[in-house]
Amino acid sequence: MEILIYGIINSIMLALMALGFALVYGISRVPNFAHGAIYVLCGFLTWIFVRSLDLNYLLGILVALVLTGILGALMYRFVLIRVRGMNISEIIASYAIGLAILEGLRYGGFKGTTHTLPVFVEGSIIIGDIPVDYQRILVVLIGVLLVAFLWLFTHYTRIGLALRGMAQDERAALMLGIDSDTMALVAMAFGCMLAGLAAILLLPLGNIVVEKGYDVLIQAIAVCIVGGLGSWMGAVLAAFLIGFAQILTTVYLGSHFQMVVALLAIIVTLILKPSGLFGQQKELEERV
């Protein structure tokens, strides 16, 4: 029972972390290695607004989200757009940006474990004699809503449909008058906002530390690779797979193994089936 409940919560948390990465890669084929840094940055932005500037919590969250979205757009417009299509330069450039953000934050004095965000709702509830706090329940609810919203958004709005067209076939989309750079820019801004949203939802559960940036990046990559790069539903399913695997190893082996599971999942998936469990990539593109 405990495993079931915490497995579900952990899975939704993983899915939240990974959605932004999956969205950006799925649409613009840019592996955004600055994902983890954006996540932490948004957390600290909210912290600054709420704790230092004494803004209203909701207002602070909104401003932080908008700022991260703008940052993502700028990152794409001024750096990534120039290296698009060159796989390795994309990775190096985005990873370097992430590194600069994270280490810059560390230099700026955001270290130690003193930075926390307030939870949205205090208190906890007992589900089948397991106490679960409201924040975690809220995470699950918002996670489910977000996935549903993304599905609706990509199936019924103009921008969403354009994004999906880009993801399926960029040239055909270009022919239909969809500007691929604008769409990639939108996707990047969206992806960063999703990372920020995940941060705002998940960070109240612990404290904000710079090191989390690297862990989030690894977990996001793990989820996206197991699910198949570029497949969103695959990412959600993979989040459940890895989420439960992590909880099981934590219960039976110890919490040290949590990251080992994510890393091994990446390596094993890539070796056995690089397109992931639900990927639609062509076999020839990734294997000789």
State which of positions 101-130 bind other proteins (CB under 8 A).
103-104, 106-107
Candidates 27, 64, 93, 245; binder of other proteins (CB under 8 A) is 93
Nearer to other proteins, 81 or 241 (CB): 81
Q: CA torsion sign, 188 to 76 to 116 to 217?
A: positive
Question: Residue 17 corresponds to which amino acid?
Answer: M
State which of positions 28-47 bind other proteins (CB under 8 A).
31
Q: Does 288 sit near other proteins (CB under 8 A)?
A: yes
Least distance from C-beta 241 to other proteins, angstroms?
17
Candidates 38, 45, 97, 197; binder of other proteins (CB under 8 A) is 97
Phi, psi of 47, rounded to the nearest 5 degrees = -60, -45
Q: Which residue has the tokens 């840019």?
A: 30
217 burial (CB, 10 Å; 0-12 / 13-18 / 19+) is: buried
Nearer to other proteins, 133 or 215 (CB): 215
Least distance from C-beta 284 to other proteins, angstroms?
9
Least distance from C-beta 258 to other proteins, angstroms?
9
Q: Does 74 sit near other proteins (CB under 8 A)?
A: no
185 with 77: CB under 8 angstroms?
yes
Least distance from C-beta 166 to other proteins, angstroms?
18
Q: Does 4 sit near other proteins (CB under 8 A)?
A: no
Q: Does 85 sit near other proteins (CB under 8 A)?
A: no
Closest Cα partner for 142 from 218, 194, 103, 97? Answer: 194
43 burial (CB, 10 Å; 0-12 / 13-18 / 19+) is: buried
Least distance from C-beta 146 to other proteins, angstroms?
25
Nearer to other proteins, 101 or 197 (CB): 101
Q: CA torsion sign, 150 to 178 to 282 to 156?
A: positive
219 with 19: CB under 8 angstroms?
no
Question: Residue 101 corresponds to which amino acid?
Answer: I
Q: How far is the C-alpha of 235 from the C-alpha of 18, rounded, in Å?
A: 7
Closest Cα partner for 238 from 273, 214, 211, 205? Answer: 273
Q: Does 260 sit near other proteins (CB under 8 A)?
A: yes
Nearer to other proteins, 104 or 118 (CB): 104
Nearer to other proteins, 40 or 200 (CB): 40
The 3-state DSSP class for residue 126 equals: strand
Q: Does 257 sit near other proteins (CB under 8 A)?
A: yes
Other Cβ atoms closer than 10 A to 280: 13
Q: Does 77 sit near other proteins (CB under 8 A)?
A: no
x/- string (CB under 8 A) for other proteins, residues 222-251? ---x--------------------------
21 with 230: CB under 8 angstroms?
no
Q: Does 100 sit near other proteins (CB under 8 A)?
A: yes
Q: How far is the C-alpha of 45 from the C-alpha of 101, rounded, in Å?
A: 12
Q: Which residues are at the interface with other proteins (CB under 8 A)?
A: 31, 79, 82-83, 87-93, 95-97, 99-100, 103-104, 106-107, 218, 221, 225, 253-254, 256-257, 259-260, 263-264, 266-267, 270-271, 274, 285-288
